[in-house]
Amino acid sequence: MLKRLSQSFREMRTIKRGHPQFKKCKKHKGMTFQGEQIKLKKVSDIQKHHRNHPMYKIRLNGHWYRFALHREIRGEIKQVQVHRDALGDMYITLTEDYSEVIPEPKTGKAEGFDMGIKDFLIGSDGYRYIAPMFYKQNAKALAKGQKAHSHKVKGSHNQERSRKSIARIHKKTANQRTDHHWKLAIALCRKFDILFFEDLNLEGMKRLWGKQVSDLAFGEFYQKLKWQAKKRIRSVLKVDKWSPTTKCCSVCEDKSETLTLADRYWTCSSCRTDLDRDQNAAINILKEGVASFGLGVVRPIILDNEIIGCSVEASNPLLNSTSASV
């Protein structure tokens, strides 16, 4: 607590934040303990058809708390963080000095990805990863709960019950989004060795499309993807945001200045190739990334004036030469 208070005073002087305030008990969301301040004891083992995880108990601030240990503790516990959410549920996070590494078999494949609103990710191979709008799916239930909450007497038990109902919907939405992010990040790390993304201006995108961008949470997904890539010995790299990936033809590199956001499909005026806007951007991201890091050369495969795949001529042992088409 003293460390956090010291940081608050430091930020007040450096970045001109307000004076630190005392929080109410209900608003206090968590606390942190050092590893030497806690005691950990095993209570019971796994029981078939009854319990999937061993039970442990931990002593924090003079009290014992029981919990199910989901992962084996392999190192020395450095820090314990207790967090309480809006529903009042408590979570204990143990931090240890052990870095988990799960090396995946090398595939020698690289892929470029374009992030979108209609589709969450579009790969340079043309595969589209759907964008489940979880906030939009739960919007009706949320609006109904907020309307009921507005009619409750302030400070009553019914108001607190309706507040928890709203918090439960928000928690479900966040859990659905997090689960989708983790599963997609693991799948991409298993499929590709090197992944290229464009360095997006997320704040500018929020001004254009509002809460749709917040619902997709590109920034949170990218952080999870980097974590999985580090654990599975993969590479996640970004290309420059000023690279002309959307308006530039991936075949002849001719730039179309008249292209607008409404144009999802267009024909290059120079080579007459029919282009899908999102796939074309993903191929340009892949070409820019592979060339920038000296891995080789990428060339689109054309059939009947349409892009059906990519040909990769690798100049680095990290990448395999491929000629894939769909």
pLDDT in tens, 173-195: 999 999 999 999 999 999 999 99
**Cβ atoms of residues 244 and 284 within 8 Å:** yes
Distance CA 305, CA 118 (A): 25
Neighbours of 37 (CB within 10 A): 12
Quick one: pLDDT band at residue 326, thresholds 50, 70, 90?
A: low
pLDDT tens string 99-157: 888 888 888 899 999 998 889 999 988 899 998 899 999 999 999 999 999 999 999 99
CB atoms within 10 A of CB 174: 15
The C-alpha atoms of residue 310 and residue 326 are separated, in whole angstroms, by 9
Residue 324: predicted pLDDT: 60
Place of tokens 């590893």: 35
Q: Is the pLDDT of residue 206 over 80?
A: yes
- For the chain, the farthest-separated pair of C-alpha atoms sits apart, in whole angstroms, at 75
Per DSSP, the three-state class of 83 is strand
**What is the rounded distance in angstroms from the CA atom of residue 254 to the CA atom of residue 270?**
7
Q: How does residue 310 score in pLDDT terms, banded at 50, 70 and 90?
A: confident
Split at pLDDT 50, 70, 90, the class of 159 is very high
Length, in residues, of the chain? 326
Residue 319 has pLDDT above 90, yes or no: no
Whether 223 has a pLDDT exceeding 80, the answer reads: yes
Handedness of CA 111, 121, 224, 15 (dihedral sign): positive
What's the whole-number mean pLDDT along residues 276-298?
Answer: 90
Higher pLDDT, 223 or 4: 223
DSSP state of 35: G
Specify the DSSP class assigned to residue 104: P
| 244's tokens | 């002309």
Highest mean pLDDT among 36-50, 101-115, 138-152, 250-264: 138-152
Please check the confidence at residue 98 and state whether its pLDDT lies above 90: no
* pLDDT for the residue numbered 325: 57
With contact defined as beta carbons under 8 Å apart, do 81 and 92 qualify? Answer: yes
Q: How far apart are CA 188 and CA 126, in angstroms?
A: 15
The model carries a pTM of: 0.85
Task: Burial-class residue 300 by CB neighbours within 10 Å (0-12, 13-18, 19+).
Answer: buried
> Are the C-beta atoms of residues 29 and 83 closer than 8 Å to each other?
yes
Rounded average pLDDT over 55-70 = 88
Number of other residues whose CB lies within 10 A of the CB of residue 72: 7
Exposed, middle or buried by CB within 10 Å (0-12, 13-18, 19+), for 58?
buried
25 - beta bridge partners? none
